[in-house]
Amino acid sequence: MSNDSTNVDPLELEKFSQLAHLWWDPNSEFKPLHEINPLRLDYIDRFSNLKDKVVLDVGCGGGILSESMSVRGAKVTGTDLGEKSLKVAKLHLLETGNRVEYRNVAVEDLAEEYPHHYDVVTCMEMLEHVPDPASIVRSCAKLAKPGGWVFFSTLNRNPKSYLYAVVGAEYLLNLLPRGTHDYAKFIKPSELARMARNARLDTLEITGMTYNPMTQIYSLSPDSSVNYIMVCRA
């Protein structure tokens, strides 16, 4: 392991480890991930045409996105530093028969092992949980083939995102466990775009994901003030 593999918050790992057995319960604390997954999947597929692509899902957790990309015909590798989450991901493959390779490896180390290897790299809802998100962005850029697609999703940092993603989602609506997010680690689109630019990625589009508490429906939106996805080309 390289020194870069220390780019992990032990408290964050432990937090998700405690919940690992619930990854595939659509009514658990991971319900929001299950509900936004079709949106994210279609969005990624629309740009990159997943069928027959070699794909890396960074911070894959229990494999919700990884498996769904595999179902679309991609050859998927999922990486995470949470061993319990990866065990759950592998067990779920036995139930579904889908094919995903899961690896317990830091993305920085994988970038040394497989530079310019992947057609598509996804890193969803992870950057706001690590000490050095720019290091993750650089590694994702290095892992992508020239002309490859790189997708990031994270949370904007402003008073509205604090109100919606922390106060609303964790305390009022109980959509997420309390303490899931640290507002100080939220990332403005301008900051993420700068990280991408420094990693020699071209940012093509930023799209918001919004939640309507009345209808309980998630949708893609021009409003990137809370959750957003950034599409880049290597």
In a domain, 163, yes or no: no
**CA-to-CA distance for 224 and 232, rounded, in angstroms?**
16
In a domain, 177, yes or no: no
In a domain, 96, yes or no: yes
Q: The domain containing residue 149 runs over which residues? A: 3-155+187-233
In a domain, 197, yes or no: yes
Is pLDDT above 70 for 97?
A: yes
Is pLDDT above 60 for 98?
A: yes
In a domain, 172, yes or no: no
**CA-to-CA distance for 44 and 206, rounded, in angstroms?**
12
Supply angle C-alpha 57, 60, 63, rounded to 5.
105
Contact 133, 58 (CB under 8 A): no
In a domain, 148, yes or no: yes
How many structural domains compose the chain?
1
**CA-to-CA distance for 99 and 107, rounded, in angstroms?**
21
User: Please, which pLDDT band fits residue 175 given cuts at 50, 70 and 90?
Assistant: low
Residue 68, domain CATH: 3.40.50.150
In this prediction the pTM is: 0.90
Is pLDDT above 70 for 177?
A: no
* pLDDT score, position 84: 92
Q: Is 195 helix (H, G, I), strand (E, B) or coil?
A: helix
Supply angle C-alpha 2, 13, 166, rounded to 5.
125
Burial class (CB in 10 A: 0-12, 13-18, 19+), 117: middle
Contact 59, 135 (CB under 8 A): no
Q: Which pLDDT tens digit goes with each residue over 178-234?
A: 666 777 899 999 999 999 999 999 999 999 998 787 787 889 999 999 999 999 999
In a domain, 76, yes or no: yes
**CA-to-CA distance for 149 and 121, rounded, in angstroms?**
6
Classify the C-alpha dihedral 187-65-232-198 as positive or negative. positive
Q: Which pLDDT tens digit goes with each residue over 114-149?
A: 999 999 999 999 999 999 999 999 999 999 999 999
User: What are the helix (H) ranges across the chain?
Assistant: 10-19, 31-48, 64-71, 83-96, 107-113, 133-143, 159-161, 189-198
In a domain, 72, yes or no: yes
Q: Mean pLDDT, to the nearest integer, of 26-53?
A: 92
Tokens 């390289």 identify what position?
A: 2
- Closest Cα partner for 40 from 114, 96, 140, 123? 123
